[in-house]
């Protein structure tokens, strides 16, 4: 990992503005924060063509000025190309929170709900339902 501070994990959470997707990625980030020291940055993304240009030109302006990411988290199809562009430019590991529209092998980890019945390869963890930011009583 490319941790800037040896004690903190830096997480970039890419958001597409859709409440359900934001809830899922926030759920993962909050769970990680309960388990280890983390610093997270929310990065709104939009558009379908701009991340293609960013990938081709090896630029991703949305990450400028931020600490280098250890993890790049996203939910929603519009975050996928942005995640790949961010990783190409700044490094880090990508975690996609759904069955992606791109090949699963493009991402470092895919958390796919069991109700999607994913049968392919790649680094996949099957979840029961979708992640959310609700913290159950008694959970650590």
pLDDT tens string for the chain (140 positions)?
444 556 799 999 999 989 888 988 999 999 999 999 999 999 999 877 787 888 788 889 999 999 999 999 999 999 999 999 999 999 999 999 988 889 999 999 999 888 888 887 888 888 886 666 666 555 55
Assess if residue 134 is contained within a domain: no
Answer yes or no: is 83 within a domain. yes
Please provide the size of the chain in residues.
Answer: 140
In a domain, 16, yes or no: yes
Q: What residues pair up with 127 in beta bridges, in sequence order?
A: 113
CA distance 98 to 89: 23
Assigned domain for 2 exists = no
By 3-state DSSP, what share of the chain in percent is helix, strand and coil, each rounded to 5? 35, 20, 45
Provide the residue range defining the domain that includes 93: 9-124
The CATH number assigned to the domain holding 86 equals 3.40.50
Residue 64 lies in a domain: yes
Evaluate whether residue 1 is within a structural domain: no
For the chain, the domain total comes to 1
Whole-model pTM: value is 0.86
């Amino acid at each position: 990992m490319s941790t800037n501070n040896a004690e903190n994990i830096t997480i970039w959470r890419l958001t597409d503005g859709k409440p359900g997707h934001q809830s899922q990625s926030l759920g993962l980030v909050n769970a990680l924060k309960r388990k280890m020291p983390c610093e997270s940055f929310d990065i709104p993304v939009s558009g379908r063509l701009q991340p293609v240009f960013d990938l081709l030109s090896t630029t991703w302006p949305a990450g400028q000025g931020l600490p280098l990411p250890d993890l790049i988290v996203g939910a929603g199809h519009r975050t996928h190309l942005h995640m790949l562009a961010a990783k190409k430019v700044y490094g880090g590991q990508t975690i996609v929170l759904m069955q992606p529209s791109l090949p699963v092998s493009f991402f470092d980890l895919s958390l796919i709900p069991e109700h999607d019945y994913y049968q392919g390869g790649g680094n996949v963890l099957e979840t029961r339902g979708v992640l959310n930011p609700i913290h159950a009583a008694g959970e650590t």
